[in-house]
Structure 1
Amino acid sequence: MSHKIVFLDRETLDANLRKPNFPHEYKEYAQTASTEVVERLKGADICITNKVPLREDALKQLPELKLIAVAATGTDVIDKAYTSAHDITVSNIRNYAFNTLPEHVFALLFALRRNLVNYHNSVFHGRWGYNSQFCYFDYPIYDIAGSTLGIIGYGALGKEIEKRAEALGMKVLVNDVVDLPNKVDVPTLLRESDIVTLNLPLTPQTKNMIGAKELASMKKTACIINTARGGIIDEAALADALRKGVIAGAGMDVLTVEPPKNGNVLLDPTIPNLIVTPHVAWASKEAMQVLADQLIDNIDAYVAGSPRNVVAA
């Protein structure tokens, strides 16, 4: 039996993609608009998608579709209630960003705690040149060693972040949806942390879990970092908190709508001590190749009758 595989957004994966281990027809598209999904997937039994949504209105027109291989860990773009009810397997990628994402978290952490962006910008606007002394202290700098890192979401990535934090001499507080011997409740974690990092999926329970009230409970000198999913932090509340000095800084690798074609409240350049990167924490060359290899492993395993990395509704 030959399988038909369609990759809807190949442009999102900068890595070599080996051929699956079975007879197949393969078609890829750099990008796919929502209005093109049904036409491009007609006759396909295997779909690869990274960020192209597959909702009920499209899925019900694709009776031959049997596997959706998501080229990412997050599966919020898939209508999993529909796929579960109609025997469509959904697989995802796991444990591939074990270096790249923690390193991005710490890049943001160092930049925020040492105010690197503000100092860089001030130098290039001439501030150093007219200073009377050899240095200046316009922006506070805080040590990483001895500070407290709060990790919300203690899965594989949370644990990797913890290892690096402890190596730097940080105290670590952790919270997760599952019970842990060392689990700290979210209010305590927010109150006691100097830096908070979010590493959990976007679900109805986590949507806007960090809002104005939660930000106000943090230290004025604290920073928050989100490399998980846009929408876990209330973006308007965060912009307001940064402008008012409720917290000291934020690092965001994700926004609620990506790309932000119609703008976003966090893209106002007047917001102080905010760093926004374009959802690239996962995207080291090494990590993308691990992802690409695992993606094909998932498809091979499904066709061989032993599906792996299966995502439930």
Structure 2
Amino acid sequence: MPDIVISEFMDEAAVEELRGSFDLLYDPGLVDRPDDLKAALAGARALIVRNRTRVTDDVLAAGPGLVCVGRLGVGLDNIDLKACEARGVKVFPATGANDQAVAEYVVAAALLLLRGAYHAGGEMLAGAWPRQALMGREVAGKILGLVGFGGIARQVAARARPLGVTLAAVDPFVAPDDPAWNGVVRHETLESLLPEADVVSLHVPLTEGTRGLIGAAALKRMRPGAVLINTARGGVVDEVALAESLKAGHLGGAALDVFADEPLSAEAAAVFAGLPNLILTPHIAGVTVEANVRVSAMTARQVRAALEETA
């Protein structure tokens, strides 16, 4: 039986590094075969997952010898942390390893949405020349509002600042005297930030307090023509309310990398179909070739250390 079970994709070099010291089962398809996953955990001491594997108490019970769970990423809403704590299972997120990838995605999405000219290929090939209709906006001089001001949001700020934006953020968990606020307009509440921002980017975990945070009321508070970018967690945004705002022309665009249901359900796909100025990507903001190497290497180091400590 394997010491380590890996249920989603991981950089091959990190997999091989672990395989050199431990019995290992690497099967990225296990995420879609929960019964097989539970069977594989019978003798395992470590489980490595991304965001789709649900690490519930039932899954943990299937691996009574589990010492740790390695998370190839930072969001932990797919892992029952209380159950892990109760069973003495440590959880290791790859904190910081994909910050740069997400930050680049956010800045690129802001530029794409404000300019609005990058989806004209089909029309042009059909003989149209929609030049006047595609007169977009520059990012310079705009206000970028960051909801949450942790590591990724600060990386976004660092990359957006040279483009000439004004930075604003809200985060009740960052002390008012934190040096990170230098050069950033600090808002006390989400309600005060939303009407000010031309671009709103979300950087909060999914908790009971943030679920549905950006709903119909919040969307109405946003500036007409503003754009919304969500690389945090899908449940933070009311997807139906967002679709209605886009259809009504209140929002100028949105980029969604995360969704309440992943992969998209048929119902969600129907909600998003035909919406103007909408970018949809499959939870890929933090996954680049380079970030995958960093995340995988960090997770491998953490898991190795935990297993060697308890050997």
Q: TM-score, normalised by structure 1?
A: 0.88
Which residue identity does 2:105 align to in structure 1? Answer: H
Change (3 A) 1:212 1:139: farther
Aligned CA distance change for structure 1 residues 242 and 294 (closer, same or farther; 3 Å): same
CA contact (8 A) 2:2 2:25 kept: no
Of 127, 146, 150 in structure 1, the residue corresponding to residue 145 of structure 2 is: 150
Alignment of 1:165-244 (within 5 A): 165-181=160-176, 182=181, 183-184=186-187, 185-244=189-248
Cα gap change, 1:41/1:3 in structure 2, threshold over 3 Å: closer, same or farther?
A: closer
Shift of 1:152: 0.9
Cα distance, 1:277 vs structure 2: 1.1
The 2-side partners of 1:136 and 1:163 are apart by 33
The corresponding residue for 1:27 is 25
Q: Secondary structure at the match of 1:41?
A: helix
5+ long unaligned stretches in structure 1: 129-134, 307-313
Change (3 A) 1:304 1:44: closer
Structure 1 residue aligned with 2:55: 54
Q: 1:13 aligns with which of 10, 14, 24?
A: 10
The Cα shift of 1:3 comes to 7.5
Q: Distance in 2 between matches of 1:267 and 1:237?
A: 10
Cα distance, 1:94 vs structure 2:
0.9
The one-letter amino acid of 1:160's match is Q
Deviation string 1:113-142 (CA, Å, 9 cap, x unpaired) is 0002443443234321xxxxxx63214411
CA deviations over 1:43-71 (Å, ceiling 9, x no partner): 11111111211111222232111211111
In 2: Cα distance, 1:3 partner to 1:52 partner: 18
RMSD of equivalent CA atoms:
2.1
The offset of 1:22, in angstroms, is 8.1
The structure-2 alpha-carbon separation of the partners of 1:122 and 1:220, relative to structure 1 and needing over 3 Å to count, comes to farther
2:29 alignment partner, SS class: coil
Between the aligned partners of 2:208 and 2:259, the Cα distance in structure 1 is 16
Q: Matched residue pairs, number?
A: 297
Greater mean deviation of Cα atoms: 119-128 or 171-180: 119-128
Q: Distance in 1 between matches of 2:34 and 2:281?
A: 25
Aligned: 1:162 with 2:161: no
Mapping 1:101-140, distance limit 5 Å: 101-128=102-129, 136-140=131-135
Asked whether the 8 Å contact 2:39–2:62 carries over to 1, the reply is: no
User: So what's the TM-score if we normalise by structure 2?
Assistant: 0.89
Whichever structure has more helix as a proportion of its residues is: 2
* Residue in 2 that maps onto 1:310: none
Measured at CA, do residues 15 and 201 of structure 1 come closer, stay the same or move farther in structure 2, by a change above 3 Å?
farther
One-letter code aligned to 2:163 = L
Distance 2:64 2:285 in 1: 36
- In the TM superposition, structure 1's runs of 4+ consecutive aligned residues that sit over 4 Å from their partners are none
1:15 shift after superposition: 4.7
Report whether the alignment pairs 1:39 with 2:25. no
Q: Is the Cα contact below 8 Å between 1:230 and 1:257 reproduced in 2?
A: yes
